[in-house]
Structure 1
Amino acid sequence: MVYAIIGMLIASCQNDDAAEYETLPDLSERLYAGGQTTTFSATSNAFGYPAPNLSAAELQKHLAGDLQFVATFITAPAPVNPGLGPLFNNVSCIACHPKDGRAAHPSTINSRNGLLVRVSIPGMDEHGGPLAVPGFGLQIQNHALAGYLPEADYQVTYIQKTETLADGTVITLRKPIISLTNPYISLPPGVMLSARLGPPVFGLGLLEAIPEADIIAYIDPNDWNGDGISGKANYVWDSYLHQTILGRFGWKANTGTIHMQCASAYLEDMGITSSVFPQETGHNQPNGNDGQNDDPELSDEIMEQIVMYSSTLAVPAPRGITNSNVREGAQIFEQLDCAKCHVPRQRTGYSPISALAFQTFYPYTDLLLHDMGPDLADQRPDYLADGSEWKTRPLWGLGLTQLVNGHTDLLHDGRARNTTEAILWHGGEAQNAKEKFKQLPTARREALLAFLNSL
């Protein structure tokens, strides 16, 4: 009888332990972060490889686009790469997306760097988009060719705040406040500004090939499931397709296609016209018409090459996924509800680029807009995105940013200097996740960060 009772007690303890024990996740299926487009390079060039499954013809077009991505534009007329400006922010694609990665928050705000400032005034244009500022457009170009005036200079000041973690660690956060000085003409009242940093460009083709139905399946605008997370889609005008489509790219999902993203960047960032945007960004301004009558300056062939390049960069694989600390961190990522917005798994449908079609991949995004609270708000609407909403950023490649780009500046204006700071800036729909993060014991917090840095 005694042995029977002892046996029952042992079994009871074992059952209690089993109820409390949660098996660490197996991350092996996520090794191919980009499906068959995955690269296993973990070097300082990890963001710059072509997808390994490209056909010979696709690879040839990708490599042609690679040359265009690093091309430096100069003043027209010129035999090679003419057409810069007359108003611009930078002189090449690679200058805003260094090594195909993430631009840093600039130490000198008016140097040529990867930061730009979007502007608009209250109201909407004929397609429901932001309303351009008369005499300035939708983006402030803070550089100009000789003989022309930049639209304005940027100026930055910083506000600091602190967050205290459960183990007593005090984190000092910085918030950049961007303003404009020395405008070439007076700015009208009510101008809304939003600073934006150039993000990584790998994996874009996969994101473009996710079926729209899969994205809108995550929409929960009225939070019917009561989890505090709503998510909504942005719908935007595409000047290339001449129709309103689902937004997927840009910090507020304010662009629908890679083609449109590239054409907009050529025009707004470098002053290069194309068949999508055949007029100079300052064509109706007293400081912005070059009078060359050479538009469009970029051929459709080059545009197709740059779109192909931007669509077919390889996605870096995660590292250390069998490490118990990383696996525990993945578990914590789910427990904190981070995965409800940073959805790990997606799948492409048909793509005209065969290498991208029907791939299972792991970007950690839902591509939807979420209210991120007042601290992150720029108070500038962009189509259906209001002033506190931002698109969920993909997390793939996060842990390679220091190696590739030499910094760990994150969020739309680079205010976060590391992953911890980025999490602590979360609010709104992510407020509960942030508070849970702050309460983590040191070891569990470090496990979560280990997981994020493995991506």
Structure 2
Amino acid sequence: MPGPLHRLLPLSLIAALAACDQAPQFTRAEPGEALSGGSATVFKADRNAFSLPSANLAPSRRLDFSVGNSFFRNPWVMAPATTTARDGLGPLFNTNACQNCHIKDGRGHPPEPDALSAASMLVRLSLPAGDEHAAIIERLGVVPEPTYGGQLQDMANPGVAPEGKVRVSYSPQVVKFADGYSVELRRPTLEISQLGYGAMHPDTRFSARIAPPMIGLGLLEAIPEAAILANADPDDSNVDGISGRANRVWDRAQERAVLGRFGWKAGQPTLNQQNAEAFANDMGLTSALVPQDNCSASQSACLAAPNGGDSRPLENVGEAAEPVFNAVSATQVVLQQPASEVSDNILASILFYTRNLGVPARRDVDEPQVIAGKNLFHAAGCQGCHTPQFTTAADAAEPELANQKIRPYSDLLLHDMGEALADNRSEFLASGREWRTPPLWGLGLSEAVNGHTQLLHDGRARNPLEAILWHGGEADAAKQRVLTFSADERAALLAFLNSL
């Protein structure tokens, strides 16, 4: 006899679920399913939903969170400045505050046609790698463009020319479902103009990237490496068409290659390095981990500009200057470095803040339509990459992050997403067609937090349905199943995704 759930569902949904015998059949919410971040889960669903400290963070530690938040939120200024510790911005940069990219700790978006800068979208640059570049690839993961480095900076301090202007244009592409319903996708074309330092190398590869949400990053860092690697299947030994694999990237602190977890291609190993690289590349701010400004040999005004650490104690520099790897010229050089613009204390405050941004609770997990959508999510095979849950390690970096059952809906592995999404730019082991599975937690709150639902690495998808329809490669079979869904089934799938 049909259960109470089936009495509430359209017949088309019941038929679709019955046909998928191998997929899990959920009839109610799982215990604790609403707690996406375990006991760190927060309970806000408004514009501030992504900006709260983990719910289990002790009051005495919330002050540390607030200090980190101030450095994340407030703007930095160019050097020299006598009234603030936040000087040293630039000379070349993309923005003057972390919050400008990760708006309300959420996701960025492509630039509007009249925007002064790309702000919350940046453009990575590199050249194709050959055997002669092995040492560079080991350290940087890419071969930087000789003049403009690994990232285009579209803003600069007075007296220094910005590197260029970034815009995106779109052309339509229509996709039809089996029932005739059509969706118009927008295919992006990246436009770079007003180059400040001459033409780029003709073989330059470009990759537009919007800023991802900041929630739950400490929990992702706390997932045991073995648990991530357990889902890897680089040779597709399961013969399911899904062959997720781990990226191996250079850890600056450990001086060795380790598992990559963060970034659109899992190109960063730790949150601390992710933060330090963002300070350097996005804001032109040096730290002990990334001690050199992002200036190439041909950018003389950039090289001559004041450094914000010039008047500070040499707290982050040894008595003898050590060789550093220049991320623009891709060479190892000895520089007499001033003190870091981002001190060790500030970097630690930012690390604590980014580790402890809480994940919002799911909504409507018991609603029949949401449960039906969850079944369809599994029936389509989406969970093959968007792994629903993990348990964090007992020895996590912060006690609040330890032993938590979390539901990020990501395996943190690389997957071939097909030619339509390819940027043709490799990064460490990631190919030009591979991307790390982005976590889906918080997806349904994007509109509330950021006022838009632009998704994927370059923001081309304007909503979750468009994002699904861009999937290819290893995810093509799942997309083809979704294309058979009826209107009721599409609504149920989206209800589930918006509950995350």
Which bracket does the TM-score occupy, shorter chain normalised?
Answer: over 0.9
Q: What is the aligned counterpart of 1:198 among 200, 211, 214?
A: 211
Q: What is the aligned counterpart of 1:48 among 41, 51, 55?
A: 51
Displacement after TM superposition at 1:31 (Å): 1.2
Match in the other structure for 2:3: none
Instruction: Please list, as runs of the form range in 1=range in 2, the aligned pairs for 1:45-444 lying within 5 A after superposition.
Output: 45-78=48-81, 79-80=83-84, 81-108=86-113, 110-123=116-129, 124=133, 125-127=136-138, 129-183=141-195, 184-282=197-295, 284=297, 285-293=299-307, 294=310, 295=338, 296-349=340-393, 350-444=395-489
Displacement after TM superposition at 1:113 (Å): 1.9
Distance 2:411 2:35 in 1: 18
Q: Give the 3 Å change call, closer, same or farther, for CA 283–291 of structure 1 in structure 2.
A: farther
TM-score by length of 2: 0.85
Task: Check the 8 A contact 1:408/1:417 in 2, yes or no.
Answer: yes
Structure 2 counterpart SS, 1:158: strand
The one-letter amino acid of 2:44's match is: S
Displacement after TM superposition at 1:24 (Å): 2.1
Distance 1:117 1:23 in 2: 42
Displacement after TM superposition at 1:122 (Å): 1.2
Structure 2 counterpart SS, 1:161: strand
Distance 1:112 1:100 in 2: 17
Displacement after TM superposition at 1:19 (Å): 8.3
Displacement after TM superposition at 1:89 (Å): 0.5
Task: Check the 8 A contact 1:240/1:259 in 2, yes or no.
Answer: no
Displacement after TM superposition at 1:160 (Å): 2.0
Distance 1:137 1:162 in 2: 36
Q: Give the 3 Å change call, closer, same or farther, for CA 440–270 of structure 1 in structure 2.
A: same
Displacement after TM superposition at 1:25 (Å): 4.3
Distance 1:25 1:220 in 2: 31
Displacement after TM superposition at 1:112 (Å): 4.8
Match in the other structure for 1:9: none
Q: Deviations over 1:73-112 (max 9, x none)?
A: 1111112121111100011000000000011222136525
Displacement after TM superposition at 1:170 (Å): 1.3
In the comparison of the two structures, how many residue pairs are matched? 439
TM-score by length of 1: 0.93
Structure 2 counterpart SS, 1:119: strand
Task: Check the 8 A contact 2:110/2:168 in 1, yes or no.
Answer: no
Displacement after TM superposition at 1:55 (Å): 2.8
Q: Give the 3 Å change call, closer, same or farther, for CA 90–264 of structure 1 in structure 2.
A: same
Displacement after TM superposition at 1:436 (Å): 0.6
Q: Deviations over 1:375-415 (max 9, x none)?
A: 00000000000000000000000000001100000000000
The one-letter amino acid of 1:304's match is: A
Q: Give the 3 Å change call, closer, same or farther, for CA 119–23 of structure 1 in structure 2.
A: closer
Instruction: Please list, as runs of the form range in 1=range in 2, the aligned pairs for 1:15-54 lying within 5 A after superposition.
Output: 22-54=25-57
- Please say which of residues 166-175 and 207-216 is displaced more in the overlay: 166-175
Q: Give the 3 Å change call, closer, same or farther, for CA 404–215 of structure 1 in structure 2.
A: same
Displacement after TM superposition at 1:189 (Å): 1.8
Q: Deviations over 1:395-452 (max 9, x none)?
A: 0000000011000000000000001100000000000110111110110111010000
Q: Give the 3 Å change call, closer, same or farther, for CA 122–110 of structure 1 in structure 2.
A: farther
Which runs of structure 1 show a deviation greater than 4 angstroms over 4 or more consecutive aligned residues?
Answer: 17-23
Distance 1:424 1:19 in 2: 24
Distance 1:450 1:126 in 2: 42
Which residues of structure 2 form unaligned runs of 5+? 1-14, 311-337
Task: Check the 8 A contact 1:370/1:429 in 2, yes or no.
Answer: yes
The one-letter amino acid of 1:316's match is: P
Displacement after TM superposition at 1:60 (Å): 2.2
Distance 1:121 1:132 in 2: 6
Q: Give the 3 Å change call, closer, same or farther, for CA 280–324 of structure 1 in structure 2.
A: same
- Please say which of residues 126-135 and 316-325 is displaced more in the overlay: 126-135
Q: Deviations over 1:235-257 (max 9, x none)?
A: 00122332211000000000010
The one-letter amino acid of 2:416's match is: D
Which residues of structure 1 form unaligned runs of 5+? 1-16
Task: Check the 8 A contact 1:115/1:197 in 2, yes or no.
Answer: yes
Distance 2:216 2:499 in 1: 17
Distance 1:195 1:389 in 2: 14
Structure 2 counterpart SS, 1:29: coil
The one-letter amino acid of 1:100's match is: D
Task: Check the 8 A contact 2:148/2:296 in 1, yes or no.
Answer: no
Displacement after TM superposition at 1:188 (Å): 1.3
Q: Aligned Cα RMSD in Å?
A: 1.7
Q: Give the 3 Å change call, closer, same or farther, for CA 187–347 of structure 1 in structure 2.
A: same
Displacement after TM superposition at 1:62 (Å): 1.2
Displacement after TM superposition at 1:288 (Å): 2.0
Structure 2 counterpart SS, 1:159: strand
Displacement after TM superposition at 1:56 (Å): 3.9
Question: Could you tell me the percent identity over the aligned residues?
Answer: 45
Q: Give the 3 Å change call, closer, same or farther, for CA 260–97 of structure 1 in structure 2.
A: same
Structure 1 counterpart SS, 2:420: coil
Structure 1 counterpart SS, 2:262: coil
Displacement after TM superposition at 1:23 (Å): 5.0
Structure 1 counterpart SS, 2:497: helix
Distance 2:352 2:290 in 1: 19
- Please say which of residues 330-339 and 153-162 is displaced more in the overlay: 153-162
Distance 2:205 2:18 in 1: 53
Distance 1:434 1:277 in 2: 41
Distance 2:449 2:72 in 1: 17
Task: Check the 8 A contact 1:86/1:290 in 2, yes or no.
Answer: no
Task: Check the 8 A contact 1:110/1:142 in 2, yes or no.
Answer: no
